[in-house]
Every structure is written in structure tokens, then in C-alpha cells.
Amino acid sequence: MNFERSGQREKEKIDDRKDDRKNLHSQEITVTELLSAISETEYPSYIMDAIVKIQTWLFDTVNAPSDNGMDPVTAMFESEGNNMDLERLFADLESIEEYVDVIPNTKRPQGRADAIVVSIDPPDYESGVRTAIDYVALFNRANGKRVWVLSDTFAFWDTVHYAAHVNALAEQGVSVRYILITPWGWVEIPLGDSSSPLSNRSLLWNQA
């Protein structure tokens, strides 16, 4: 009987160790998945720099009329209140060109793995998305891996026209990432089924 009890206890210990190994393996998978998710959704420093520069420029543009003594509401309907100094914005973005191609640009893009398409002002929205797709699909097909559209506008119906293009690029390992920027915060919006690691998650608003 003692031998039977001793054998039973040993068997229970072995089973417990197996369960512990299973639990540890399960935890390792969870940690791996977590680290993978973090690495996929993390934004490169030059993207964060670009977002801050565009936010600052937008904030200054919005406040320019009142800074000049104009009524902000009246300025919306007057051309002199809508002067957008895009040259200053692109001059500010020159500091990140060491790491990423900035489009549009007076210089020829270097063909880096990452590119930024700056799409500011509503009439420029569709052109910005189309430029991003054309750049990675045609002009930088050999090296392009990600193209970021940084815009102050989001138009749903215009996006629908390009969803199939974005999905096709994603299947080829090229992602088109869209970030909507305002003076007060920003959010990434997926343009297709799998264009972004955030495609199946809730949108996260990031405060300025």
C-alpha cells in the first residue's frame, strides 16, 4: 500500500510539473504576442516628429487671424485670413528627410523604405492618398515598405475608392498608413482591411 501511495504521489508531482510547463509555455506565447503587437504599432521617432511639426503648424495657422487682430470667424470667409504658409511647414519637415522621403518635395525622393505624404487642406485629400499608392506601387516598388499619409482631413467616400489598392499592396508586404492630425490631437485610421496593425482594433485618439 505504501508503495502504491508513493507511486501515486510521484505521478501527481509529474503531472503538476507538466501543467506548470504548459502554463509557462502559454505565458511565453502571450508575452511574445504582446511584444509583437507593440513592435507593430510603435511609431518611428521621425513619424512622431512629423506629427508634432504638423500639429504645431496647424495650431499656428488656426490662431494666426486672432494673433493679427482679426475675428477668427470672419477670417474663415476672407482670403487674407486663410493664408497657409506651406513653405514654412515643409521647411520644418526637412530635418526628418535624413530618415524618410517627404512628398511633395522639390528634391527627388531617395527611395527609402518609408515615405511620408503630407496632405493638407480638404481639396488635397484624394490627391494625397493617390500619391501615396502610386509612389510605393510604381516609383519606389523595389524599396518601399511603408508610406504614411499625414493629413488634416478624412473623407470616407474618397477612401472607399482606394481600399482595394491598399489591400493589394498589403498582400505584397507594403503598408499604407493614414494619420489624421488636428491641432489638438491625432489618430491613425485604417484605409483597408489590413493596411495597418490597428485594423481590427478600436481607434485611439492621441492628445496633443
What percentage of the chain reaches a pLDDT higher than 90?
24
Task: Please check whether residue 120 is in contact with residue 84, taking contact to mean a CB–CB distance below 8 angstroms.
Answer: yes
Q: Across all residues in the chain, what is the average pLDDT?
A: 74
- For the cut 60, the answer to whether the pLDDT of residue 197 exceeds it is no
- For the cut 60, the answer to whether the pLDDT of residue 114 exceeds it is yes
Look at residue 47 in the predicted model and tell me its pLDDT: 94
- For the cut 90, the answer to whether the pLDDT of residue 116 exceeds it is yes
Look at residue 126 in the predicted model and tell me its pLDDT: 65
Look at residue 148 in the predicted model and tell me its pLDDT: 94
Look at residue 81 in the predicted model and tell me its pLDDT: 43
| pTM, two decimal places | 0.70
Task: Please check whether residue 126 is in contact with residue 80, taking contact to mean a CB–CB distance below 8 angstroms.
Answer: no
Which has more confidence, 150 or 106?
A: 150
33-42 pLDDT, tens digit each: 444 344 445 7
Look up residue 190 and give its three cell numbers. 485604417
Provide φ and ψ at 205, rounded to 5°.
-80, 130
Q: What is the rounded CA–CA span in Å between residue 126 and residue 42?
A: 26
Task: Please check whether residue 44 is in contact with residue 144, taking contact to mean a CB–CB distance below 8 angstroms.
Answer: no
Q: Which of 22-36, 66-80, 99-113, 120-134 has the lowest mean pLDDT?
A: 22-36
E strand or H helix at 176, and its extent? Answer: strand 175-182
Using a 10 angstrom Cβ sphere, with 0-12 exposed, 13-18 middle and 19 or more buried, the burial of residue 113 is middle
Give the torsion through C-alpha atoms of 17, 18, 19, 24, to 10 deg: 90
